Every structure is written in C-alpha cells, then in structure tokens.
Amino acid sequence: MRVVVTGASGNVGTSVLEALAQEPAVEEVVGVARRVPSAAFAKTTWRRADVRSDDLVSLFSGADVLIHLAWLIQPSRQEALTRSVNVDGSARVFAAVVRAGVPALVYASSVGAYAPAPPTLEVDESWPATGIASSFYSRHKAEVERLLDRFEREHPEIRSVRLRPALIFKRDAATGIRRLFMGPLLPNRRVRPGVLAVIPFPRGLRTQAVHSLDVGHAYRLAAVNDVAGAFNIAAAPTLDARVIANVLGARAVEVPAGVVRGAAWASWKLRLQPTSPGWLDMGMLSPIMSTGRAERELGWRARASAAEAIRELIDGLHDGAGLPTPPLDPATSGPLRARELATGVGATDRLR
C-alpha cells in the first residue's frame, strides 16, 4: 500500500508518519510539505508542494490512500491567506484525488466543525457540522465538510473518511503549539506545574483533548480498514477547571467567560499573542463528543488520557521541545524568537 500525506511535517502529520511506519500493510509513504524537513521517518520520502498552487495530480498518482492534513492556523490576522490553504487548497486536493484515481481519501476535520451544543450534551457524528460563526478555524472546517459532502455525492466510488479530533497535544509539538497559540513572549521556563498557585479559568468551559500519537493511530486505522464516514476522536476525561488545575498543581478560580474573552481580544489586538478570541468561543460552544463509533467500527481507543496529553504539553513547553521539521523545530523561530516577532505575532505567514 502506498499512502500520500499532505501537511505531513506538523503535530499530527509526524504522528501519522510514525503510525504508518509501524503498519505492515503500508509499504511506502510520501510526506508532502511546503518546506522539506530534515526529520526522517521509516518508509517515508519527502516531497515539497503547496496545495494552493503546485501540481498535485502527479504527486498523488499511484497512491492507494490520500491523507489530507494540510491546514493553516496562522496568520490569524489574514483570513484570506488561511482560507486559500484551508478551503481552496482542500478543494484542489479533492479534485486531484479524482483526477489521479486515488481510491481512498482520509480528511482531517475537527471538533471545531460542529455547531454549538448544550454543555451537558454528548454528541455523535450526526450532530450538525456547521461550525462556530466567530471562529475562522471553525468556519473553514465547516466549509470543507460541505465540500467533502459534495465530493462524496459525486464520487461514491472513492472511499471517503473524515476524522474529527479534539485538541491534539504531544511533547514534541510543544514549540509548534506555543508558536501558533501563545506567541513569542511566553517564557518557557515559567511553564511548569506548581508555578502558579491560582489559575483563572473561563466559567463553564468544558472541552476534550487527545494525544497526537493516538490520533496518528486513528489515521492509520482509517487508511488500512474498509471504513467510511465521520469518526469522533477524543480521550477521557473531559477537561474542565478541576482537571486542568490538577495538571497544573494549582487552584482554579472560574471567572466569567466574557472577561476572559475581553482579555483575549485586547491582547490579540495589541499583538501580545497570536490567538484570536474566536478560539475561546469555539472552546465554549463546541460539543463534547462521543467516540463510540470510532471504538466499534474503526477499532480505535485512546491509549493516553487527556490529562496525560496535557501534562506532556506542559513538560514540552517548559523544555522547549520540538522535532526537526519547520513547524515544530525551535530553531525555526530564530534567535530570541526574532522570526516570530517579525511576523507581527500572527500578522503574516513569513515563518512558513
């Protein structure tokens, strides 16, 4: 089996490559990235390509499965740019799958694709995937879900799978996650359990997480098994103020979500951090997912708990952990994170 993976150099992509390397049915993997990394993975050959503009048909030809992970989270201040990759790039990928004759497509959707849900409701894959209006990430995920709906109607001969993971963490992705969501001003050495006695927590926030390697395992299963449709991917326990406080060795004090959103908006507008307030809206409004279908039909179960995934991220942030791929490598940020600062903290795509 030959598998092509777009967006293979990031947090999830590197976990997918690790999982595919351990799969006997997979003989060859092509990792596609805009900047070819120095990291090596068993069975994987790197190819440089941009899903917005490069020839994808020849790249995908001969593949048995195409796993589409390529996505932009930053720059948060230029939605036209992120949309050109996330939505327009995905449309080009889907069209190239058809033209190249690839028999199976596995797409990286997200919990962020879902419509708002009551905080006490656990949803399955039938919950509407219409997104959270104030989050560009959620809007893009929902829009690509609509593209994939049309793709499935027009090409029933192609096996199509979409995974909807929760927040995805691992130690080796710590630098990439800090760069995307926290920015260059975060002091790594201050990120460790016990540093803060009290942490403010948005009142009512309940969300889910999953270890990146477990997500890679889910993509491997989706690639090699004869399954189709959507699958929720998340680990227990649900993350709330109590769980997060235990991980951080602190006491959580819940504050109104509006206060936290105001602080997020102000710090984003002042370019102190790169995360727009729509991310908080998505966290507050997105549903808690049931993973029953993934367990029954995909044969997937989380091996690490959500709390363990968070602990790994915290340790990785403290140590400045990463991998030798451009999205995850601490060296990509430049001396004293100068390259990150040069982007205007979420204003340009210069790092990529």
**Digit-coded pLDDT (tens) for 44-89:** 999 999 999 999 999 999 999 999 999 999 999 999 999 999 999 9
The CATH code of the domain that includes 42 is: 3.40.50.720
CA 223, CA 5: separation in Å to the nearest integer? 11
> With bands split at pLDDT 50, 70 and 90, how would you rate the model's confidence at 349?
low
Note whether residue 28 is domain-resident.
Answer: yes
Query: Would you state the pLDDT for residue 350?
Result: 57
Quick one: which of 300, 296, 162 has its CA closest to 218? 300
Task: Give backbone dihedrals phi and psi of 253, rounded to 5 degrees, phi first.
Answer: -115, 115
Note whether residue 349 is domain-resident.
Answer: no
Q: Cis ω on the peptide bond leading into residue 37 (within 30° of 0)?
A: no
Mean pLDDT for the chain? 95
Note whether residue 32 is domain-resident.
Answer: yes
Tokens in use for 80?
């036209």
Tokens in use for 29?
């993997």
> With bands split at pLDDT 50, 70 and 90, how would you rate the model's confidence at 197?
confident
DSSP 24-54: TT--EEEEEESS--S---TTEEEEE--TTTS
Determine how β-strand 229-233 pairs with β-strand 28-33: unpaired
Domain extent, residue 306, equals 2-342
Note whether residue 351 is domain-resident.
Answer: no
* pLDDT surpassing 90 at residue 190: no
Determine how β-strand 251-255 pairs with β-strand 28-33: unpaired
pTM of the model: 0.96
* pLDDT surpassing 90 at residue 222: yes
Note whether residue 348 is domain-resident.
Answer: no
Note whether residue 277 is domain-resident.
Answer: yes
Q: What value, to the nearest 5°, has the Cα angle with vertex 181 and ends 131 and 344? A: 110
> With bands split at pLDDT 50, 70 and 90, how would you rate the model's confidence at 352?
very low
Q: Which amino acid appears at position 267 of this protein?
A: S
CA atoms in the 13 A half-sphere facing the CB of 244: 19
State the total domains in the chain: 1
The residue with greater pLDDT, 22 or 343, is 22
Checking 36-44 for CB contacts under 8 A at 24+ apart, the result is 37/9, 37/323, 37/324, 37/325, 37/326, 37/329, 38/324, 38/325, 39/9, 39/14, 39/323, 39/324, 39/325, 41/14, 41/17, 44/8, 44/17, 44/20
Note whether residue 347 is domain-resident.
Answer: no
* pLDDT surpassing 70 at residue 192: yes
* Integer angstrom CA distances of residue 251 from 65, 69, 198, 245, 248: 47, 37, 5, 6, 8
What is the greatest pairwise CA distance in the chain? 57
Note whether residue 27 is domain-resident.
Answer: yes
